[in-house]
């Protein structure tokens, strides 16, 4: 900390404040809170030359940031540093404690300020430790005796019948002898209090078995210290040593409060999750209990039965030859390197682990079925997450549920809904005890009040998970409602919570149909959730499409600075749920045929006539959204109180109305490109029958980005010292489906940019098909160049006209696509949910030195062809999505062969990438690379590529597997290697051998 420059009062920009926070955190300061929002205060606690300084950064009227620095307080006046760390995790929004000493306001002076190299002087205090320190031994001894007598007298005035005699004697002994020794420790600035520590350990012995006895004892001891002395009891503080007395109480009381707070939170957590079998040697049940899987392992082509026992709480995986056999062989969580799923054999799994001698073992097991394998993988992933040393998560799980309640109260038990039990893709029983990080519940025709429904859901989750979930938001439009709940430990990670609603009923003024939405930030990741109830009726498909468009245009969620973009572009992850009311488009005379197909569980023919699927395929609604495969029966329309019969006829005054069995209730999602998202469950319940709809559930594993604190050497006085990153977007061509004669420009929006960046007007060229091609290019400078930060960022692109500043198309590009070298992209431009053109170009990323840390979700991979590469690990790379370029072809002409396009400069590092729209000669593909390179089929949310791209050249498609239904960003055949350093961004990755 010798090089640290203390802050002073003044006004700075937001970016400077963030840089200062980053520098202070790197220098060893303790970061209490740092929010990206200018509307929130920063607070920083800095340890410098044995003094503690507090800095607050607040927005002023000019929307800049004002820095306020407190006077330094010697560290000996504070509790130990671990207490600061503990206080950071308390639910105080980063506030450590109340002010213990007055801090005088700094007065303005005309003379020159002192050098910033010196810390601020200490403010005057009301006491000085030298009062006792410099006194004679006799005076010190008298002060100790008075202090001891005072507390012993206090103890006599308290009701001690509620605590055991042995603890009563222990507290008396502490006040009689040990408190003076602790006081001497405080007097000389030592935070360790051996007497208090010994007493606390004595009181808190056997915590699990004596919970009801410990809390009253701590409460009595706490009250004895916390009371102010009355004139009639003992001597005044002045008589027993002045500051000596005050300082002793301050430190002892602070440590006792920490002990008590820890004890109370510890007991509350364990009371609901632990069960004691006896006072001695009792075995406790974990929040996630031990789970044993029966598997088969082949040895010399002979299958042998094995048992895998997972202990999430202790972080161990046991390998046993018999179910009740000894647990002598196990792997600790940090020695389990990776799980590799076989795609061809759905029950097979490879566990890659490291031995004590740093040898990598590869053990192959076959589970009973694919569902058991998935449950095992989820438990192992939970173990990795629980014992990770990362301060912030990079992966969370989200439960999304939707239910049209039919204006009827819910049944007594709805556990199966929240446990993803029923039909379809469901979770294995072994994963029942794994709680989700977020629960998002959308209801339609909900007859309950907001508070009643929220309390009902919280009660169910408390019973299932033993966790009291916190309410993030609840919003209601008539009887359409959305509730968002989160784990308590995520409370301080959530910010910028917004909610809104849109009416789409008759004349768009009635709220019987419409949507409600909630959005928020989770650290550095934005989430949006929309629950909609669209127009009913088989024949009203076009009206439902219009409902969707209106919701896109008018639902006001997310960052208001992204006003050119609708909600499909504003969020890292957007989930759309609800009773969408799209029906199966069969004649009403085919009702019995449909029911027969459902009983036979033959859904494919029915799904091919599903209106939502057909409209999505035509690009009319939910463009670029994803939905997990439907493997469950239609959720509408059942006879109430049964799930065995569909009530597909309804008598009305105008005649008989048919409501054919349909998948009205749906969950879809849309995520930014190259973002991890996996749907783990998608189905409906069988046992909740109060409505004519069955509740629908979906479970997701999603990647999140942390609030980034750079480890670079920022310098406040000379920011040019910091290495600058760069984002080069070149060769950009926008093809717009318009005949407008206006000029166009591009706006770039991103949290990694200090402000919105606009290009110069592009060059227009009309084509015979009526579209317009516009050429652009631009250089962007990110606020932080660290690859750990940049590779999680995205650039939102908006093509606007110069005459009215109106958007003609929006899209998104992931910086991770250019992690290794220059990469060409082709993305679709959309506006209000409709395709308006395409954008092609190239992106090159320049970052500072550094290697991104491995993500927790990279722990599980998918083995494409049952052959495991011996080396290499990392992200699903963009270069695997593209055909190799021809090094003999110059870039003096455009990649699409357009003769009207002007010559383009040759970009760097293009060795392994090219546009998929450009055919390649056979000579450009090395035979070895072709044999080993495994093309990966991206989802819509992965590559940012246009869906209707031309086919790849025949040479580049060698060895390509059949297109699957990939949702898993982790799909890769690569395993980790401890001996090969990962490639640095900006350098080409070496060829795999």
Residue 681's DSSP bridge partners are 699
Spatial separation of the C-alpha atoms in residues 601 and 343, rounded to whole Å: 24
For residue 768, is it left (φ>0), alpha (ψ between -120 and 50) or beta?
A: alpha
pTM score: 0.65
pLDDT at 844: 93
Mean local confidence (pLDDT), 725-753: 92
Query: Which tokens hold the place of 640?
Result: 């109430």
The CA-to-CA distance between both ends of the chain, in Å, stands at 47
Model confidence band, residue 438 (pLDDT cutoffs 50, 70, 90): very high
**Nearest residue to 692 (alpha-carbon basis) of 634, 610, 613:** 634
Going by pLDDT thresholds of 50, 70 and 90, the confidence category of residue 86 is low
Sheet of 763-766: strands edge to edge?
A: 757-758, 744-749, 794-801, 807-814, 823-831, 834-846, 726-736, 772-780, 763-766
Q: Which of 168-172, 173-177, 229-233, 481-485 has the lowest mean pLDDT?
A: 229-233
pLDDT for position 905:
37
Report the alpha-carbon distance of residue 941 to residue 92 in Å, rounded.
Answer: 37
The per-residue pLDDT for range 275-289, each reduced to its tens digit, is 333 333 333 334 789
Rounded to whole angstroms, what are the CA distances from 279 to 308, 401, 917?
30, 42, 72
- pLDDT of 78 over the 60 cut: no
Report pLDDT digits (tens) over 830-865.
999 999 999 999 999 999 887 788 899 999 999 865
Counting Cβ atoms within 10 Å, is residue 899 exposed (0-12), middle (13-18) or buried (19+)?
exposed
β-strand 438-444 against 395-404: which pairing, if any? Answer: parallel
| Pairwise CA distance, residues 223 & 229, whole Å | 12
Mean pLDDT to the nearest integer, 159-179: 82
- Three-state DSSP string of 731-781: EEEEEECCCCCCCEEEEEECCCECCCEECCCCEEEECCCCCEEEEEEEEEC
Q: What is the pLDDT of residues 604-661, one digit of tens each?
A: 999 999 999 999 999 999 999 999 999 999 999 999 999 999 999 988 888 888 999 9
Question: Best-predicted range by mean pLDDT among 64-68, 142-146, 904-908, 914-918?
Answer: 142-146
Which pLDDT tens digit goes with each residue over 519-572? 999 999 999 999 999 999 999 999 999 999 999 999 999 999 999 999 999 999
Q: Are 746 and 778 in contact (CB under 8 A)?
A: yes
Out of 79-83, 132-136, 233-237, 336-340, which region has the weakest mean confidence (pLDDT)?
Answer: 233-237
Residues 948/955, Cβ–Cβ less than 8 Å: no
Contact predicate 394/857, CB 8 Å: yes
Separation between Cα atoms, residue 528 and residue 699, nearest integer Å: 16
- What average pLDDT does this structure show over 796-817? 94
Q: Give the closest residue to 472 by CA, choosing from 522, 511, 534.
A: 522
Least Cα distance to 29 among 74, 81, 76, 78 occurs for 81
Q: Is the pLDDT of residue 178 over 80?
A: yes
């Amino acid at each position: 900390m010798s090089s640290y420059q203390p802050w002073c009062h003044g006004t700075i920009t937001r970016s400077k404040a963030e840089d200062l926070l980053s520098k202070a955190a790197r220098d060893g300061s303790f970061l209490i809170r740092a929010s990206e929002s200018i509307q929130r205060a920063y607070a920083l606690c800095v340890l410098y030359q044995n003094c503690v300084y507090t800095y607050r950064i607040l927005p002023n009227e000019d929307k800049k940031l004002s820095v306020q620095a407190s006077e330094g307080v010697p560290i000996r006046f504070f509790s130990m540093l671990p207490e600061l760390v503990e206080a950071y995790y308390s639910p105080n929004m980063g506030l450590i404690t109340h002010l213990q000493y007055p801090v005088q306001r700094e007065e303005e002076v005309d003379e020159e300020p002192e050098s910033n190299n010196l810390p601020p002087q200490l403010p005057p205090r009301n006491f000085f430790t030298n009062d006792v320190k410099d006194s004679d031994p006799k005076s010190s001894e008298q002060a100790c005796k008075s202090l001891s007598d005072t507390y012993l007298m206090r103890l006599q005035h308290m009701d001690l019948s509620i605590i055991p005699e042995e603890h009563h004697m222990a507290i008396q002994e502490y006040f009689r002898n040990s408190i003076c020794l602790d006081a001497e420790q405080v007097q000389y600035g030592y935070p360790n209090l051996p007497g208090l520590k010994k007493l606390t350990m004595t009181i808190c012995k056997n915590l699990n078995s004596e919970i009801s006895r410990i809390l009253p004892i701590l409460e009595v001891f706490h009250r004895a210290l916390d009371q102010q002395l009355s004139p009639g009891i003992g001597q005044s503080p002045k008589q027993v040593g002045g500051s000596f007395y005050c300082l002793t109480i301050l430190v002892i009381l602070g440590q006792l409060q920490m002990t008590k707070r820890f004890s109370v939170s510890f007991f509350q957590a364990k009371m609901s999750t632990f069960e004691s079998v006896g006072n001695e040697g009792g075995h406790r049940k974990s929040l996630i209990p031990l789970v044993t899987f029966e598997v088969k392992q082949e040895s010399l082509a002979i299958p042998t039965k094995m048992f895998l026992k997972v202990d999430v709480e202790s972080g161990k995986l046991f390998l046993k030859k018999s179910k009740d056999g000894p647990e002598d062989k196990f792997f600790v969580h940090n020695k389990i390197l990776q799980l590799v799923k076989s795609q061809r054999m759905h029950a097979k799994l490879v566990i890659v682990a490291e031995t004590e001698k740093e040898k990598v073992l590869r053990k192959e097991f076959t589970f009973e079925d694919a569902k058991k394998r998935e449950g095992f993988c989820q438990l192992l992933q939970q173990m990795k997450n629980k014992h990770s040393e990362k301060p912030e998560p990079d992966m969370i799980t989200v439960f999304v549920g939707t239910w049209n309640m039919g204006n009827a109260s819910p049944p007594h038990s709805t556990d199966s809904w929240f446990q993803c039990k029923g039909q379809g893709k469901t979770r294995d029983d072994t994963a029942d005890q794994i709680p989700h990080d977020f629960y998002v519940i959308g209801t339609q025709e909900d007859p309950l009040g907001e508070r009643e429904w929220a309390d009902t859901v919280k009660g169910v989750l408390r019973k299932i998970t033993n966790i009291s979930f916190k309410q993030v938001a609840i919003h209601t439009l008539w009887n359409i409602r959305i509730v968002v709940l989160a784990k308590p430990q995520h409370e301080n990670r959530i910010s910028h919570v917004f909610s809104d609603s849109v009416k789409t009923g008759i004349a768009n003024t009635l709220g019987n149909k419409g949507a409600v939405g909630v959005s928020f930030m989770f650290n550095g990741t934005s989430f949006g959730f929309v629950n909609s109830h669209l127009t009913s009726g088989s024949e009203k498909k076009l009206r439902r499409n219009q409902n969707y468009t209106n919701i896109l245009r008018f639902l006001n969620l997310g960052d208001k600075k992204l006003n050119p973009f609708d909600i499909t572009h504003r969020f890292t992850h957007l989930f759309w749920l609800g009773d969408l009311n799209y029906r199966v488009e069969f004649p009403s005379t085919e009702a019995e045929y449909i029911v027969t197909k459902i009983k036979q569980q033959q859904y494919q023919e029915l799904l091919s006539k599903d209106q939502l699927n057909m409209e999505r395929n035509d690009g009319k609604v939910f463009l670029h959204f994803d939905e997990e495969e439907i493997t469950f029966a239609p959720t509408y329309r059942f006879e109430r109180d049964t799930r065995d019969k569909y009530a597909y006829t309804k008598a009305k005054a105008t005649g008989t109305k048919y409501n054919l069995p349909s998948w009205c209730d749906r969950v879809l999602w849309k995520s930014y490109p190259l973002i991890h998202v996996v749907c783990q469950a998608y189905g409906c319940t069988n046992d909740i029958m109060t409505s004519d709809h069955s509740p629908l559930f979906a479970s997701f594993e999603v990647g999140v980005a942390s609030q980034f604190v750079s480890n670079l050497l920022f310098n406040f006085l000379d920011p040019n010292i910091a290495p600058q990153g760069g984002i080069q977007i070149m060769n950009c061509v926008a093809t717009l489906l318009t005949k407008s004669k206006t000029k166009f420009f591009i706006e770039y929006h991103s949290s990694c940019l200090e402000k919105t960046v606009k290009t110069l007007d592009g060059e227009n060229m009309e084509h015979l098909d009526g579209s317009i091609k516009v050429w652009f290019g631009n250089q962007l400078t990110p606020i932080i160049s660290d690859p750990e930060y940049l590779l999680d960022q995205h650039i939102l692109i908006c093509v606007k006209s110069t005459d009215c500043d109106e958007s003609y198309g929006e899209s998104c590009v992931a910086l991770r696509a250019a992690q290794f070298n220059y990469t060409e992209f082709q993305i679709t431009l959309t506006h209000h949910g409709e395709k308006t053109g395409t954008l092609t170009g190239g992106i090159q990323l320049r970052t500072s030195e550094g290697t991104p840390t491995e993500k927790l979700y990279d722990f599980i991979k998918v083995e494409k062809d049952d052959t495991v590469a011996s080396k290499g690990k990392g992200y699903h790379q963009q270069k695997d999505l593209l055909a190799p370029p021809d090094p003999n072809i110059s870039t003096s002409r455009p990649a699409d062969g357009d003769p009207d396009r002007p010559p383009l400069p040759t970009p760097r590092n293009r060795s392994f990438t090219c546009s998929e729209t450009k055919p390649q000669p056979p000579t450009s593909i090395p035979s070895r690379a072709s044999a080993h390179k495994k093309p990966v089929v991206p989802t819509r949310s992965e590559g940012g590529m246009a869906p209707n791209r031309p086919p790849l050249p025949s040479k580049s498609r060698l060895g390509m597997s059949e297109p699957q239904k990939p949702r898993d960003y982790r799909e890769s055949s690569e395993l980790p290697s401890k001996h090969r350093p990962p490639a640095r961004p900006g350098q080409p990755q070496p060829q795999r051998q």
